[in-house]
Chains A and B, each alone.
Chain A
Amino acid sequence: MVVPDMSGQSYHLSESQLRFWKGHRLQPDMPIYNMAWRFELQLDLDPDLFKKAFQGAVQDNEILRAVFREGPDGPYQVAQAMPDDLLEHIDLSQSAEPAASLHEHLKSWTQAAFDLEREPLRSQLIKLSDTHWVWALCQHHILCDAQSGALLFDHVSRRYSALMQDEIYRADPLPRFFDRLPTPKSDPIPVATPHPPTAPYGSAAKRRGYSQRLPVPLDADTAQKLDNATERPEFRLFTSDLSKLAIYLTAYLGYLHRVTGDDQITIGLPSHNRLTGQDKKTMGPFVEVLPFIVEISPDEPILDLHAKVKTALGAFLRQAKPGAVAAMDTSAISAVCNYIQAEFPDIAGHPADVQWLHSGAHDAAHAMRLHITDFRGDGKPQLYLDVHDEILEAVDPEHVQHHFARVLAATLEAPETPLDAVDMAACAQDQAIVFGPSEPEDLPSTVLEAFAAQVAKTPDTFAMCQADQQITYAQLNAQSDRVASYLAALGIARGSSIAVHMPRSTAFVQVVLGILKAGCNFVPIAANTPFARVDQIIRSAEAAAVFVAPQDDRTFPCQILTAATATSEDPLDVSPPQGSERAYVLFTSGSTGVPKGVEVSHAELSRYIHWAADTFGDTPAPSYAFFSSISFDLTLTSLFAPLISGGTIHVYPERADPDLAVLDVFAEDAVDVVKLTPSHLALACKQGRPVERIQTLVLGGENLTSQLCLMAAKVLSPSLKLINEYGPTEAVVGAMHHAFDPAADTKASVQIGIPADGVSISVRDAGMNLCPIGVTGEIVIGGRLAEGYLGDLSKTAAKFLDDPKAIQGKVYRSGDIGRINRDGSFDYLGRADQQIKIGGIRFETAEFDRVLRQIPGVNAVHVSFGHPTSDLGSTQQCRTCGLTDAVPGVEFADDDLCGVCAEFESYKDRAQAYFRDEPALQSQITRAAETRRGGYDAVMMLSGGKDSTYAAYRLADYTSRVLAVTLDNGYISEQSKTNIQRVVKDLGWDHRYLSTDKMNQIFVDSLKAHSNVCQGCFKALYTLAFRTALSEGAPLVVTGLSRGQFFETRLTPDLFRNAAPTCEQLDDMVTKARKAYHAEDDELSRLLETEDLKDGDFLNRVEVLDIYRYIDVPVSEIYDFLDTRTAWQRPADTGRSTNCLINDAGIYLHKSREGYHNYALPYSWDVRMGHKTRAQALDELNDEIDTQRVEAILEEIGFDEPVTPQNLSVYVAGQGFTEQDVWEALQAHFPRAMLPDSVFVLPDMPLNTNGKVDPSRLPKGRSRGRDDADFVAPRNEMEQRLASILATALGASRVSVTQDFFDLGVDSLTAIEIAVKANENGLPLPATSLFEYRTIRALAEHADHLPATTSAEGENEALIDLDDDDLSSITEALS
């Protein structure tokens, strides 16, 4: 019995022990952390001596006797006294099958959970025979690691040897684990749950933890190759082990990428953490598993991935210090790679066979663990993969090891192979290919043949009906004959294309059949197609004629025919078309917007139609609805399938735009089969009329979600048969089908099932190899294909090709992503070029559909991943300054005058109070001369532009003791620098370039935070200029800031709205704002370590002198002066981007992210100041940006985001719910990382003419709405007041009371504005309070404790003079 002895000293836990502790607490009954060794001792062992040796070892090393308890300060560990019966002795030598029973016994023994409070270690010595003993040792990871096991083994071995030789065991005591415990750190910052990585092989995302250990056999050949591989210079790292690890990691990462489809993989890589010799001799758990992250690019050769692994290893090793795990986010780890270097020596001169037993389970979050061991140290590594049970349901265990081994082999033998083209399939049974059932032998080669047979069989059955009109088979046959006859008589050559641009009608069907009978092919063009496109199609198809509606009087580039007149009574004398002849050409829009014509032959059409009729029609002569666009091949099914089976086509004419004839179909409920898109189905569900006659729905064209199917069953009819039909136009309408089964189809998206008759489908990798089962790849279709693209041989050759693996014959590469699962199901995973990946992990958009459709009232859900708008579509432009409403905050009254100009008129007189005159300038400078403590009166910021240069010359009139400074941000042009040098030489001034090695980081931060470079640059300049002035003892910092810039940034309208502040008051406010600006705790302050400026005291010693505050000069005079009287040279253009070469990067990024030019506002001020004309301003805003140069610069400075970050937007159509409902549902089901950036609620989902969602008509999102997810409304009056003040100040519709001000965009100036307003509202808030109390809620609580002032008695229209008391109560206590 274990008697816990609490007399030992207790210790805190190390970081990794803490993690094991917490993990164990979460699942105390799972053996996730059991480390079990089985040592085969083939010698004549003395069990008593062995037991003594073992006990001696345990006695000597306290960590082996540690138990773990929870105390008031958290968990602690303490060594307990050694129990007597620590090594259980079991004799199996007499049993029938000792080895087998031991194996069984050990399995359950190793998997038994530990009680950490009592005994985290157990051991047994089992006798199999006199000379075969097994020593089994099982410990919880909280007190050991692999090296520790090796040390223990070694220790016991030595003791045993000593005992065997009757010697006293003498050895220096091993270092104590407890002595080496690092000091505990504070709690790590909690991190948001990341987007969970994709489970491998399409297996279930939720796992319990039980797993199997699979050996990865490495043949001798591979082991040899591994050793040889390091001869290749790229594979050689600075130690042999590290070189091998890099190769294993590359193969492992590559393998994980292929079986999950993720582009970013985080591997847990243990760092052994035994740095010193002492450490290497200390037992205990040192190992820490740290994240190792690599991003995989598409089409990347394995060698490139290896290069990334090398770099990542360097970074990894640098961070790997004991305790490092505390500061790292390990929650994204999806797999572990254990490169175990522990070696086990002999026992008493005999080699011991060492096995590390699997405990039967491992951390459920880690899909797999790869172990690379070499316990004997003989250079022959053994590899194992621990794989969870749930994953082994999705993949054959035999195949798993093979897949990994293939990637490893490719890494070693052919690393130039692109990772996505490594042939991984284990065997023929592991290949992702399905062949559809074979077709009947005597299939008619054209639909005409089948139609003719049907006419003979049922001449008087109705073939078509439309409203009251009914047409029998015989009639349709006769009518189409007449059309064909007419066409023949016209002399239209056989094989010609004839366009059909008619509304849906019985006439349409007659015409189409007629065209086919004439030996021609039809090109259907929907009635509502814009003329330009009709024209384009007719030309591309080189159509010999076009059929139009009778009232269509437009001109087309070919003969125009109408159904009514294109008939001839002459008997048809055209031989029927052969299967090889073309039946139709259908133009799709293609991703580039240029329509491409897909040509399909009679034989393939017939094959499809026969299969469709057979599959979709349950009744003998089913009727179909003809309601969808004729330009969409989906419609062909509904036309021809009934005609070959004796059914009836019900014609539903076009409705006005939008064409929602589908609603008529479901309202009338007069057919058996409806073929439609999921979006159309959603509309039918919205209409909500149950159906009885309609039994079968065939869904195509878009991804079908299970939630929509459930909705349809509920709303339309419980006995509806819903068939998902997948197929690109190029595979002749439909290639795969699956009948929805609510019991089996539990994923968010409905699977696409099995191939149609005569069709073969495979999933292939980038090298056209067949993917293994469970691995995603491109869907490749064979068996029944279109001929190709009309008139585009190269495109045809690219997509339609002979199977390089000679399995499917002629194939079509669909560009869709799919996967065949072990259970035979076939998942469609979207288009390759539209995959949404967040953080490198594939995002299944149907999950949103699943969750959101459960909100009552929702009919449709669409997810898009696009760029936030880059042209917020401005509609209005100011007649005075040229500003457009694309600029946020710029509003227009009705007369083309922007709000900024309008308001400016009202306060520009009051603003004049700020400006002074030249004598004032003189006295400032004189004062400076008296108070200077160094050689300079002033430090002047000289940018090289016209304003600062002119200002410099004016300053020079008053003093020559000036130090000119220019911020060299690394991108100042030579031209600009030369200009500056000329000027300072001319002025006889000293000049200095200011710079910081943090400039690039400042740029990156400025781009991320403000979408420009100028803000960061500006602040850096001011910071460094002030420091220069301080160190030089100069009392002045002089700027050439223009008047326009004053009005833009300083003399803002709110200061003058109901007040006329004096010059001093304005000065004061500006100074306070400047203090706050330099006190801000932002990234720049961290980079430049601006502690020295934080208290604002420096502004008592240095004053800012803006030259243009004292002089006002028209721009013409400035240019005149500069051109004639100075050494300055005017740049050819505005100089903005030729002076500072990084400017364009800022402009480009700002335009992309914010939707408007960042110089729009400043230039509008130049116009108001009369320094530019409106035309000039608009002209200068019309940049030509060299995007390649910009991308290069962004890379140079280390800007690591895409210029236009992608915006995940969710659109929800329906009624009776709010945006808030949507956010709540999303938050309840998805981790933060998966929440969309924007949510839009619409009454209806906009559809295109084909019945699919039309993304061009969806509102575009800016990156907002994420904050809304955390919106908390005000709960009392104080919060309400503050919230509305902030909302006004920020131009936001509402503000959350729990959101940090600086996340809301409150900067130092806005803080002042808010304080002003607060004061106006009777809240005496000092502006600093917004720095201290960072949320409205906190501020409100604080405000409650301030003495109330007299509240503003109504908003007085009359001007209020701010007296100094008012002012100080606004801006007090900043210092």
Chain B
Amino acid sequence: MNNTQHETQRQAVRSYVHGTLLGGQTVSDDEELLLSGMVDSLGVMSLVSFIEQTYGIEIPFEDVTLENLCSITAISRYADGRA
């Protein structure tokens, strides 16, 4: 797992969050997405599916938590750890 792959994956997640979930609105990687209500539960699960596809991992439901998904940074950290 090299750095460019990490970065490509993170970029993909960024696009998905900005484009699909936030309707074009950009946010910083550290912006809190869930508690703020920016992304609702349906959005989160579709994000989970997207992460699974992008990183080629399986995410058990117990791992779908605030800690793991609250921001793009958190997501990358979690997903890299599972890959």
- A314-B61, A314-B64 known; A277 and B42 CB under 8 Å? no
A318–B40 CB distance below 8 A: no
Q: How far is the CA of A317 from the CA of B64 in the complex (A)?
A: 11
A236 / chain B contacts, CB cutoff of 8 Å: 66
> How far in angstroms is the closest Cβ of chain A from B4?
29
Total number of A-B contacts with CB less than 8 angstroms? Answer: 60
B61-74 near A? 1/0 per residue, CB < 8 Å: 10011100100000
B23–A278 CB distance below 8 A: yes
The size of the chain A interface, using a CB distance under 8 A, is 27
A317–B23 CB distance below 8 A: no
B66 / chain A contacts, CB cutoff of 8 Å: 236, 238
A299-327 near B? 1/0 per residue, CB < 8 Å: 00000000000110111011011000000
A317–B24 CB distance below 8 A: no
A272 at the interface (CB under 8 A from B): yes
Report the nearest B residue to A242, measured CB to CB: B41
A239 at the interface (CB under 8 A from B): yes
B1 at the interface (CB under 8 A from A): no
A271–B23 CB distance below 8 A: no
B20–A317 CB distance below 8 A: no
Find A275's partner among B24, B35, B43 (CB 8 Å cutoff): B43
A277–B23 CB distance below 8 A: yes
Q: How far is the CA of A277 from the CA of B49 in the complex (A)?
A: 18
> How far in angstroms is the closest Cβ of chain B from A372?
14
A317–B44 CB distance below 8 A: yes
B24–A277 CB distance below 8 A: yes
B20–A275 CB distance below 8 A: yes
The B6-28 residues at the A interface (CB cut-off 8 A) are 20-25
Q: Which of A274, A278, A317 has the most CB of B within 10 A?
A: A317
B46 / chain A contacts, CB cutoff of 8 Å: 275, 321
A580 at the interface (CB under 8 A from B): no
Report the nearest B residue to A246, measured CB to CB: B41
Q: Which of A241, A273, A276 has the most CB of B within 10 A?
A: A276
B81 at the interface (CB under 8 A from A): no
The A275-291 residues at the B interface (CB cut-off 8 A) are 275-278, 280
B21–A241 CB distance below 8 A: no
Q: How far is the CA of A1335 from the CA of B20 in the complex (A)?
A: 50
Q: How far is the CA of A277 from the CA of B21 in the complex (A)?
A: 6
- A272-B42, A275-B46 known; A239 and B35 CB under 8 Å? yes
Q: Which of B23, B43, B45, B61 has the most CB of A within 10 A?
A: B45
Q: How far is the CA of A635 from the CA of B69 in the complex (A)?
A: 72
A275–B42 CB distance below 8 A: yes
Report the nearest A residue to B65, measured CB to CB: A238
B65 / chain A contacts, CB cutoff of 8 Å: 238
> How far in angstroms is the closest Cβ of chain A from B35?
6
A310 / chain B contacts, CB cutoff of 8 Å: 61
A217-255 near B? 1/0 per residue, CB < 8 Å: 000000000000000000011111110010000000000
Find A276's partner among B23, B48, B49, B69 (CB 8 Å cutoff): B23
A273 / chain B contacts, CB cutoff of 8 Å: 42
> How far in angstroms is the closest Cβ of chain B from A378?
14
A318 / chain B contacts, CB cutoff of 8 Å: 45, 48-49
Interface residues on B, range: 20 to 34
Q: How far is the CA of A278 from the CA of B64 in the complex (A)?
A: 25
Find B41's partner among A241, A278, A315 (CB 8 Å cutoff): A241
Q: How far is the CA of A241 from the CA of B22 in the complex (A)?
A: 18
B22 / chain A contacts, CB cutoff of 8 Å: 277
Report the nearest A residue to B49, measured CB to CB: A318
B37 / chain A contacts, CB cutoff of 8 Å: 239-241
Find B42's partner among A237, A311, A317 (CB 8 Å cutoff): A317
- A238-B64, A238-B69, A239-B34 known; A320 and B23 CB under 8 Å? no
Q: How far is the CA of A245 from the CA of B41 in the complex (A)?
A: 10
> How far in angstroms is the closest Cβ of chain A from B57?
15
> How far in angstroms is the closest Cβ of chain B from A1067?
46
B49 / chain A contacts, CB cutoff of 8 Å: 318
B40–A320 CB distance below 8 A: no
A277 / chain B contacts, CB cutoff of 8 Å: 21-25
Find A271's partner among B35, B42, B64, B69 (CB 8 Å cutoff): B42
B48 / chain A contacts, CB cutoff of 8 Å: 318
B44 / chain A contacts, CB cutoff of 8 Å: 238-239, 317
B42–A320 CB distance below 8 A: yes
A276 / chain B contacts, CB cutoff of 8 Å: 20-21, 23
> How far in angstroms is the closest Cβ of chain B from A150?
15
Report the nearest B residue to A318, measured CB to CB: B45
A169-201 near B? 1/0 per residue, CB < 8 Å: 000000000000000000000000000000000
Q: Which of A280, A314, A315, A341 has the most CB of B within 10 A?
A: A314
Q: How far is the CA of A263 from the CA of B20 in the complex (A)?
A: 40
A238–B41 CB distance below 8 A: yes
A274 / chain B contacts, CB cutoff of 8 Å: 42
B23 / chain A contacts, CB cutoff of 8 Å: 276-278, 280
> How far in angstroms is the closest Cβ of chain B from A244?
11
A122-161 near B? 1/0 per residue, CB < 8 Å: 0000000000000000000000000000000000000000
A320 / chain B contacts, CB cutoff of 8 Å: 42, 45
A251-277 near B? 1/0 per residue, CB < 8 Å: 000000000000000000001111111
> How far in angstroms is the closest Cβ of chain B from A279?
9
B43 / chain A contacts, CB cutoff of 8 Å: 275
A317–B45 CB distance below 8 A: yes
A341 / chain B contacts, CB cutoff of 8 Å: 40
Q: How far is the CA of A341 from the CA of B41 in the complex (A)?
A: 12
Q: Which 8 A-B pairs have the closest CB atoms?
A: A277-B23, A314-B61, A317-B45, A242-B41, A239-B41, A239-B34, A238-B66, A276-B20
* 8 A-B residue pairs with CB within 8 Å: A238-B44, A239-B37, A241-B37, A272-B42, A275-B42, A277-B21, A314-B64, A318-B45
Taking A238-B44, A238-B65 as given, write out 8 further A-B residue pairs in contact, using a Cβ cutoff of 8 Å, ordered by the A residue number. Answer: A236-B66, A239-B44, A241-B37, A242-B41, A245-B41, A275-B20, A277-B25, A314-B45
Interface residues of B (CB under 8 A from A): 20-25, 34-35, 37, 39-46, 48-49, 61, 64-66, 69
